[in-house]
Chain A
């Protein structure tokens, strides 16, 4: 008779009802050395599933709460993009010029440009695409004389759709740059 210790690795953190995971070596009763071919009656191996000490139900964040900024939406209309494209359309250039001149009149304001996509692509590629769209708008505004310190960009990819139908109209609405004014706005 020989004792064998089996490390039951799969026991490591069994469930989320029991988060404190511990991989414990399991004592296993091995089959006897001498096995007769016919022998059906052999002492069974023993496996013990251990209920692991209960831990927390949900994740504890170690992040400090970020200070909120005043956000104002709807001052400027969204501009739109073609499928899988991030170049500024000619028809939107006058709207961007209006934004640039507003920015010079409101030196206390900061602009956040959000890039959005329709949901036909995959999430990560769309986030990259949304990033390119927001940056294309930022670059255009910089070319019109707005300071880079006044413009932030953020991509939401397909994460914040305006419209959720599967139609060309709806997709076109979602492929947009959205403008949010941050901080103080002069009257």
Chain B
């Protein structure tokens, strides 16, 4: 990995190219910390070069960020065409790019890049590439910055032919990362409960609704699954033989194991960030209460002790707080407590039925489902301020954030059948990603 020395050297020399390529590579590996670092780096960089450099970078924290007009050529062949469509779909969905239609391109894909062909069209970035289809698929991608008049990304990708879409998403991630300094979510997936002709099953689908695959569980009744933080496991609840058990699914081994069962209703919640532990609600002692459960030791700890219903716990990203639903005040509302069960406080006061809380990955907001006639998705700050309604048609439930916090997946019955939808975290661009002939609910966005 590059050292700090390299970074400074790069800045001193003022070679944007190198910072770019460094950014695109290391954000994958370093995660949030480095993203922050690079935003800082970027700020310094821009201040040094504002006069000569085009501002193709996007400040994704600014709601008024200008969209980048991007030209994306249709790559040759069927695989090439699919890759171009994937990149286009990914980038446009972010709301940070506008796709410039290929009918207006003056330059042929085979001709050398000439910024003069693009700046009159207002195009700021151009994606070109070549495809070689042999035993494997080899795709070379070059991204041009029209105002700098040069390539800012040049990369060769290789894959098995069956992974065309993933390859497209990887390219999208690289482009997105170059423009924003943040990791893209284009390789993430959504886990949900689906029902087609009777029995329920867990399904895993790419975030854009493609490549849905059924996992083949035996259950007929299943509840919303919860990913482990590293994205290799999930816990979920299932009723079998008149008992609600909590099951652990290991994606690497593709095995399922019952890890907890008792009399009453047991419903799995989120994993904690550090230990191999998760939170769940159980009525084993009578009323629905919250417990933490350590998978390695098989030990549990009771966290709530009210006479009412405490259910649907969601663990904050830092693991220190738990948002949950309680009817201790007479109606179901969102509450927050520390993860040891102390310092309980109510978060929602508007509406008489607020359920299904879910933390944003940065912990700055909680999404939930609140009834206003029908159930709608809202977000609110953990201190109870800035309530924001995101949906207004049909019933909308089970919100779950994408790992970058920019999108939310949820269930909606606005088209009659319960289906999985995605939208931007401000409510824009809502769209269904599961087919109408499948009942689907309980979506959870993968952490990576």
* A positions within 8 Å CB-CB of B: 4-10, 12-17, 19-21, 28, 30-31, 35, 37-40, 42-51, 55-63, 66, 68, 84, 112, 120-125, 127-132, 135, 152-156, 159-160
Complex Cα gap A120–B397 (Å): 10
> Which chain B residues lie closer than 8 Å to A154 at the CB level?
239, 242-244, 265
Q: How far is the CB of A112 from chain B (nearest CB, A)?
A: 6
Q: How far is the CB of A70 from chain B (nearest CB, A)?
A: 13
* B positions within 8 Å CB-CB of A: 1-2, 15, 17-18, 21, 25-26, 28-29, 113, 140-142, 144, 150-151, 154-160, 162-163, 166-167, 170, 173, 187, 202, 204, 211, 213-218, 221, 223-224, 231-232, 239-245, 247, 249, 251-252, 254-258, 263-265, 267, 281, 283, 286-288, 309, 311-312, 325, 331-332, 353, 355-356, 369, 371, 375, 395, 397-398, 441-442, 448
Some 22 contacts from A to B, beta carbons below 8 A apart, are A7-B28, A15-B163, A19-B252, A20-B252, A40-B151, A42-B151, A44-B141, A44-B156, A45-B154, A45-B155, A46-B158, A49-B166, A60-B254, A63-B247, A63-B257, A122-B398, A125-B332, A128-B309, A129-B309, A132-B288, A153-B264, A154-B243
Complex Cα gap A154–B311 (Å): 16
> Which chain B residues lie closer than 8 Å to A10 at the CB level?
28, 170, 173, 187, 448
> Which chain B residues lie closer than 8 Å to A4 at the CB level?
1-2, 25
**Additional A-B contacts beyond A39-B150, A62-B255 (13; CB < 8 A):** A10-B173, A14-B166, A16-B211, A21-B232, A47-B170, A48-B159, A59-B254, A84-B353, A122-B312, A124-B311, A131-B264, A153-B263, A155-B265
Q: How many A-B residue pairs have CB under 8 A?
A: 223
Q: B257–A62 contact, CB under 8 A?
A: yes
Complex Cα gap A51–B255 (Å): 21
- Least CB separation from A122: chain B residue: B355
- Least CB separation from B269: chain A residue: A124
Known interface pairs A31-B18, A154-B243; A49-B353 also in contact (CB < 8 Å): no
> Which chain B residues lie closer than 8 Å to A63 at the CB level?
240, 245, 247, 256-258
